Amino acid sequence: MRPAGKGPLDSLYFHYPTFPARRAPELDGLAARHPVAIVGAGPIGMTAALVLARYGIRSVLLDRKDTFNDGSRAICIARPSMHILERIGAVKPFVEKALGWRYGRSYYRGEQIFRLEMPQPPGEKYLPMYNLQQQYIEKFLHDAVAACDLVDMRWQSEVADVECRNDGVSLRVASPAGDYRLEADYVLAADGARSPVRSRLGLRLKGENYEGKYVIADIRMDHDFPTERRAFFEPSGNPGGTVLIHKQPDDIWRVDYQLREGESEEEALREENIRARVGAILKDIGHDKPWELEWWSIYSANTLCLDDYRHGRVFFIGDAAHIVPIFGVRGLNNGLADADNLGWKLAAVLKGEADEKLLDSYSPERRGATLDVFANATKSTRFMTPPTRGWRLAREAALSLSLRHEFPRGLANPRQMQPYTYSESPLTPYASRDADFAAGPASGSASPNARLTDGSFLLDRAGDGLTAILFGDGAANTEQAGLLDQLGKLDRRFIALRIQPPGLAATADAIADGDGEIARLFNARPGTLYLLRPDLHIAGRWKTIAADEVLRTARLCLGRTAP
């Protein structure tokens, strides 16, 4: 909702473009079968199109609107998502515009009780979190889509019907120039929480709805507090409730406040009441300067998902597949991981480099990630919005004790988004090899990064296909060379990153490890090998190379079982 006198797209900081409807070639009898049709041109749909384009796969991207999504939407981008944006060639404007952060504070009745500090290892390229309005997220992704010849962007194109077939999917698309049929090998539904594609296929999200409700208000003000997450429990500006405050670019601030039990939504959303509540909250944090209201809406937490993210040749990504609470900033980031996970697999299948059964791993991996999010988000949600009197009493006791004692303060930790570990994935068959390591990143986890002696980063050298990180002893090894040769024959995009032992300089085909930090990070010794998937998750790790296991893992990641 916008203030009185404002149009639906009148913004204090963002200009919404209007995209014309382009006449579809199908209307003129020039029907062509598309490898992939993506429904929904929000951040998840556009990211999916760019991931596919990275591998040379064409897609058509459909959206019923004529501009970007408006209002108070996602604002937090996690480090793993920045790596995804980098791999699709879109990260530069995000780095330039977004506000990076790694700290947060939680208060109880005006007194600080918890200090959040997200880890920032010296080898990481990006900060743990960045704040950026979804309008900019969509603009920057759209700029990348517009510059890509492999994405056919069609605005004002609404999917009116979905017909699934054994060999593809037929969509009926309604456009200003008329309705037409669009044929695709695969369809990705990225059309949001109220997904029309999901509805037309008769599928429903299942899970839990929480009763607590929040008003989300975006305001513009000149306020000098640093970019941190601030959570206030029972502040004087919102007695009995909680408040969250985030800084965004262009002097825009996100203020979320919990409605009191029994409070009418209709009354809460009246502009005069929004202004009064936000004004009281700002007074509570010591802000007495003028401020302007940009937008407001209401939100309730849900943990909902599909039983299966695949329906024949239709795949669900982002909010079309799952809805998670805002606490811990998992919604957008989880959706971007969906697009990245499915994108490399689908591209490999469409290019004939992998068997279609590789696609069977998408739903177990990403639904597993969703259930993990639910487990963490449920803890945060119950603390932020206690569902029963018992939970309220327990939270009150924990918060009261936090004023004087350290042990309960961790309960105020928002449990920020972390990439999921695919340890039980069918593509991670030798997770048991983790027992050979005393430390280092586990099988199925996202690979850590490392700064190299020349100032660049290890993961910048990873390829579009499988990547092996091999720790050597500085001498030639025919067994290792033979294994790398076989991996290269399996995957034409395969890249080997050879790590020199400490004290040896870089060579044309080996990376220097200066003081041994890379080896320590991976708990490696000469002969240790890590095999990374295209999404930079670890398919397997071996303290000492077991060639048969490495090759079998590589084949599984390529959807193959036979040698």
Please tell me the predicted confidence (pLDDT) of residue 509.
87
Backbone angles phi, psi at 67, to 5 degrees: -160, -175
The token duo for 51 is 């991931």
List, in order of start, the domains of the chain with CATH numbers.
431-557 (3.40.30.10)
Q: At what angle do helices 331-350 and 43-54 cross, to 10 degrees?
A: 30
* Separation between Cα atoms, residue 63 and residue 61, nearest integer Å: 7
- Determine the residue type at 176: P
* Separation between Cα atoms, residue 7 and residue 133, nearest integer Å: 19
Contact predicate 345/296, CB 8 Å: no
* Separation between Cα atoms, residue 301 and residue 309, nearest integer Å: 21
Report the b/e string of 82-113 with b at 16+ CB within 10 A.
bbbbbbbebbebbeebbbbbbebbbbbeeeeb
* Separation between Cα atoms, residue 412 and residue 429, nearest integer Å: 37
Contact predicate 19/309, CB 8 Å: no
Contact predicate 182/37, CB 8 Å: yes
pTM for this structure?
0.95
Please tell me the predicted confidence (pLDDT) of residue 415.
61
- Determine the residue type at 262: G
* Separation between Cα atoms, residue 498 and residue 510, nearest integer Å: 5
Contact predicate 346/36, CB 8 Å: yes
* Separation between Cα atoms, residue 231 and residue 244, nearest integer Å: 5
Angle at 262 between CA 234 and CA 259, to 5 degrees: 40
Backbone angles phi, psi at 137, to 5 degrees: -55, -45
* Separation between Cα atoms, residue 300 and residue 242, nearest integer Å: 14
Please tell me the predicted confidence (pLDDT) of residue 563.
52
Please tell me the predicted confidence (pLDDT) of residue 254.
96
Contact predicate 442/509, CB 8 Å: no
CA distances, 89 to each of 51, 98, 351, 455 (Å): 9, 16, 21, 20
The two beta strands, 34-39 and 59-62, are parallel
The two beta strands, 103-108 and 111-117, are antiparallel
pLDDT tens digit at each of 563 positions of the chain: 999 999 999 999 999 999 999 999 999 998 789 999 999 999 999 999 999 999 999 999 999 999 999 987 889 999 999 999 999 999 999 999 999 999 999 999 999 999 999 999 999 999 999 999 999 999 999 999 999 999 999 999 999 999 999 999 999 999 999 999 999 999 999 999 999 999 999 999 999 887 778 999 999 999 989 999 999 999 999 998 899 999 999 999 999 999 988 889 999 999 999 999 999 999 999 999 999 999 999 988 889 999 999 999 999 999 999 998 776 667 899 999 999 999 999 999 999 999 999 999 999 999 999 999 888 776 667 777 776 777 777 878 888 888 888 877 777 766 666 789 999 999 999 999 999 999 999 999 999 999 999 999 999 999 999 999 999 988 879 999 999 999 999 999 999 999 999 989 988 889 999 999 999 999 999 999 999 999 999 999 999 999 999 999 999 999 987 55
